[in-house]
């Protein structure tokens, strides 16, 4: 009987200890839950604030940037949502860390502390990539506008290439900021960029060959011909109406004809009749 009484007394004491520990832990648990709820509400406010702030910034840009290359400078709605969601989870992570410390979950809290300590580096890398994206969009518009104003074709293609190179550079810098070894990535990017640049240079050189030939031919034609003369280029004959930087405009029996100036170097050129200024 004494053994049973002792066992019951031990069980009662153990139950009392467990009950006391639970009652003592309940305030910590409630505090952790409150922190999580507050963190969730605050994170939603932060996310909404970022999206609305971006929309307000776009409205200001619409008001003040109405012309020129800066007119297309805008914050993408997808980027705003992405940044808002990232900020939401960063805030949640901070509050989860505080909640685990309040709940005395020491192992989990230590692991979260190491993640939180790494967040500034991660955020810095993400900001570099984000700023690189915005700058690349601006460079795309500037390059496209410059090429278009110069009268050259494929302005959209060159603008997109400039944007891609700028954004890719920002990604490499951002990844390096995070702490990832980018040596292999830089090598691959450099090889790819060199291949693309070489292909474009070759294509431009082949395409510009005819243009340069016309420029050279027009230079010599302007020394030999004047408007009003009758000239024959190979089998084409007509009255010279105009000498452009790359061609000769003739009035032929078939109508107005533009002859590439490079025919001066490729065909026999004959001045059939002199101009009004010649004797």
Lowest mean pLDDT across 178-182, 228-232, 240-244: 178-182
Alpha-carbon distances, residue 80 vs 30, 47, 160, 165, 178 (angstroms): 34, 9, 22, 23, 22
The pLDDT of 110-132, averaged and rounded, is 76
Dist CA 127 CA 124 (whole Å): 5
What is the model's pLDDT at position 65? 63
Indicate whether 68 pLDDT > 70. Answer: no
What is the pTM (predicted TM-score) of this model?
A: 0.47
H or E segment and range at residue 62: helix 2-64
The pLDDT of 116-145, averaged and rounded, is 78
Residues 176, 160: contact at Cβ < 8 Å? no
Indicate whether 150 pLDDT > 60. Answer: no
Q: What average pLDDT does the chain have?
A: 75
What is the model's pLDDT at position 119? 74
What is the model's pLDDT at position 158? 74
The pLDDT of 36-55, averaged and rounded, is 88
Indicate whether 128 pLDDT > 80. Answer: yes
Higher pLDDT, 89 or 119: 89
């Amino acid at each position: 009987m004494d053994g049973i009484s002792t066992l019951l007394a031990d069980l009662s004491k153990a139950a009392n200890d467990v009950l006391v520990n639970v009652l003592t832990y309940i305030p910590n648990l409630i505090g952790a839950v409150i922190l999580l709820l507050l963190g969730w509400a605050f994170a939603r406010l932060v996310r909404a604030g970022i999206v609305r702030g971006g929309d307000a910034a776009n409205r200001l840009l619409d008001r003040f940037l109405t012309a020129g290359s800066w007119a297309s400078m805008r914050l993408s709605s997808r980027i705003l949502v992405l940044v808002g969601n990232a900020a939401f989870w960063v805030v949640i992570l901070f509050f989860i860390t505080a909640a685990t410390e309040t709940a005395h979950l020491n192992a989990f809290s230590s692991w979260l502390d190491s993640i939180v300590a790494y967040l500034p580096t991660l955020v810095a890398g993400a900001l570099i990539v984000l700023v690189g994206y915005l700058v690349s969009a601006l460079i795309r518009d500037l390059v496209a506008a410059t090429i278009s104003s110069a009268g050259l074709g494929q302005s959209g293609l060159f603008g997109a290439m400039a944007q891609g190179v700028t954004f890719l550079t920002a990604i490499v810098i951002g990844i390096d900021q995070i702490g990832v070894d980018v040596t292999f990535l830089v090598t691959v990017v450099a090889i790819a960029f060199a291949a693309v640049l070489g292909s474009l240079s070759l294509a431009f050189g082949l395409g510009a060959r005819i243009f340069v030939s016309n420029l050279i031919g027009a230079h010599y034609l302007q020394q030999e011909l004047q408007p009003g003369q009758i000239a024959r280029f190979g089998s084409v004959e007509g009255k010279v109406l105009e000498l452009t930087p790359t061609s000769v405009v003739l009035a032929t029996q078939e109508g107005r004809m533009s002859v590439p100036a490079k025919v001066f170097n490729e065909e026999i050129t004959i001045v059939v009749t002199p101009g009004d200024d010649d004797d």
